[in-house]
Chain A
Amino acid sequence: MGLFQHFISEISSYFADGTFKLILKVALIIIVTIPVLLLLRGWARRFFTKKYAPHYGMLAGKLIFYSGLVILIITVMGQLGISLAPLLGAAGIVGIALGFASQTSVSNIISGLFLIAEQPFKVDDIITINNTTGVVLSIDILSVKLRTFDNQFVRIPNEMIIKTEVTNVTRFPIRRFNAQISVAYKEDIGRVRELLMDVAEKNQYSLSEPEPLIIFDAFGASSIDLLFLVWAPSKEYILLKNTIQEEVKAKFDEEGIEIPFPHVSLYSGSASKPIAVEMIGKDHKKAGDEEA
């Protein structure tokens, strides 16, 4: 009975000195603020995505959420009676130690800020970095996340992106496909040009303007090499690439235009004279005689 009375008096003193009230207050602040922050983050994401671009939506959402989180932590600390001044002083000393230990992370954060300011790409753009091509999923403080076309997740540190050449494949609305076309030396290049222009005109993905261009590239070892340059909307680039080369092959087959493979012509002295063949040995046999 004495133990129970002691427990009750302990609880009563808890209520009396306000500790329980304080815990309740802090818990209430956290329980109310976090859902509000999440709601605000969602609203900011939707609003900025709709009004500007997904990239801005993501940034605005993060900015609101993390700013709110910092304010929440400061408020909670204030409620608990923890002064910020000694913490900030300690943070200075810890900061120096951490700074040495986390140079890479800091470099990534600063690179991230440059990336956000410079905007070489946005969320949903298709970019190529080194040999990796993918859709930008997010641009974060430390890294950029990509989804490659074979559905892999790639995380690239911001520092690396700042130092490396980045190709934004979808930055501009139209894109040119450069096809290398080789035809035999015997072919009439004027006729080949006409056929290629006809293929470009009939292809459903190619644009009439900028006009397709055919460039006489080189006298190759086995063929005349042409460059066939055709434009398409960036989103349909792969469809153009896939269809137009098939159509060129079909057109050349239909019109009897030869697409040569590498070959070597051997001459002995003069192209006009046949190669002399000398038979060696008295009892030479025709090929296949022994097997028969």
Chain B
Amino acid sequence: MDNEIWGEILLKDGQTRYFTVGDLHLWLRFRDEEVWIAHGYKDELKGKIKAENPPPKVEWSRWADKSVSSDIRIQPIFPDLPLVVNSEYSLKISPNTQIRIFSRIPIWVRISLANNDYQLIEMPTVKLSRTWFGTPIEGELCYYATTKARRDLSKADKKSYVVTCPILVTNKSTEELNFERFCFRVERLSIYEQNGYFWADETRIIYHGADLNSDVIMTGNLPAGIEKKQLLTPPRKQIKKSLATRTFKRLFEDTQIFGR
């Protein structure tokens, strides 16, 4: 098994490389001028997993490119959908209060050709279930994640397959903010690497009240000790630095009332 998954990897003809990160098991091969990729997850793969070959249940996918390159790049990247992040323990923020919490999000793996950056595949390191954020009439599809919403990371286990996201929450309303769950739009965040662990730039959420949209600002501020040169992956979307959007409100009451 290879330990260092991130970065550029030169595949030798006929040789198989095997990586594991989070629940993901990944096999890479260069054969007949094609890149071969196979992957599976811990709960799907039964029995002893061999580095030379994936289990028969796991199928290879093949890519042929005019560059005929065996040099590939593996990058960590944020999930391809926003996340509805649930706080493990309900956190209530009183009016006119500002707090900083840390939320850890499982990363995805992006595999591309190193010479022309042609993207081959993206896959999560941990399979997340999907959820709906909004009303039954309109909303958006998100992944569902749970967070401890930590204030201090010193006691947290170090995990190589999560990215730590600092979030500054400001309650500017006159009511209490129940920070039970929120929609975290990660597509505008970058990933930085320090000592084998991943960090994101800061997100600021300003809550104005239950019936108003919250301001979500990608401040670009980096966590202490992280510098711009440690940037590993730019954001998926580089459109806006801020947006006013529904972040806390969900409306599913009628799905309970009209059970039938």
Contact = CB atoms under 8 A, between A and B. Distances in A.
B136 A208 contact: no
Interface in A188-242: 201, 206-211, 213, 215, 227, 229, 231, 233
B224 interface: no
A172 B137 contact: yes
B84 interface: yes
Given A209-B84, A233-B141, A201 B259 contact: no
B255 A208 contact: no
Contacts of A209: 84, 131-133, 144, 250, 252
Contacts of A176: 255
A201 B144 CA distance: 11
Nearest to A205: B130
Contacts of A215: 259-260
Nearest to B128: A208
Interface in B123-153: 129-133, 136-139, 141, 144
A213 to B, nearest CB: 6
A72 interface: no
A116 interface: no
B238 interface: no
A17 B99 CA distance: 93
B3 interface: no
A15 to B, nearest CB: 63
A259 interface: no
Contact of A229 (B133, B137, B259): B259
A2 interface: no
Interface string B143-165: 01000000000000000000000
A208 B144 contact: yes
Interface residues of B, number: 18
A215 B255 CA distance: 13
A233 B260 CA distance: 18
B195 interface: no
Contact of B130 (A208, A210, A227): A208
A174 interface: yes
Given A173-B138, A227-B260, A233-B141, A210 B129 contact: no
B259 A227 contact: yes
Contacts of A172: 136-137
Interface string B222-260: 000000000000000000000000000010100110011
Contact of B259 (A173, A213, A233): A213
Contact of A174 (B84, B132, B260): B132
B132 A207 contact: yes
A229 B260 CA distance: 8
Nearest to A213: B259
Interface string A156-174: 0000000000000000111
A233 B256 CA distance: 18
B169 to A, nearest CB: 21
A172 to B, nearest CB: 6
Contact of A207 (B130, B138, B250): B130
B141 A213 contact: no
B237 to A, nearest CB: 21
A233 B81 CA distance: 14
Contact of A210 (B137, B138, B255): B255
A131 to B, nearest CB: 22
Contacts of A231: 132, 255
Contacts of B131: 207-209
A211 B132 CA distance: 10
Contacts of A227: 259-260
Contacts of B252: 209-211
Interface in B97-138: 129-133, 136-138
A210 B136 contact: yes
A229 B136 CA distance: 14
A5 to B, nearest CB: 73
Contacts of B132: 173-174, 207, 209-210, 231, 233
4 pairs of A and B residues whose beta carbons are closest in the complex: A208-B131, A208-B144, A209-B131, A210-B255
Interface of A: 172-174, 176, 178, 201, 206-211, 213, 215, 227, 229, 231, 233
8 contacts: A173-B132, A201-B129, A208-B131, A209-B84, A209-B132, A213-B255, A215-B260, A233-B130
Interface of B: 84, 129-133, 136-139, 141, 144, 250, 252, 255-256, 259-260
Given A209-B84, A233-B141, 19 more contacts: A172-B136, A172-B137, A173-B138, A173-B139, A173-B141, A174-B136, A176-B255, A178-B260, A207-B129, A208-B130, A209-B132, A209-B133, A209-B250, A210-B136, A210-B252, A215-B259, A215-B260, A233-B130, A233-B132
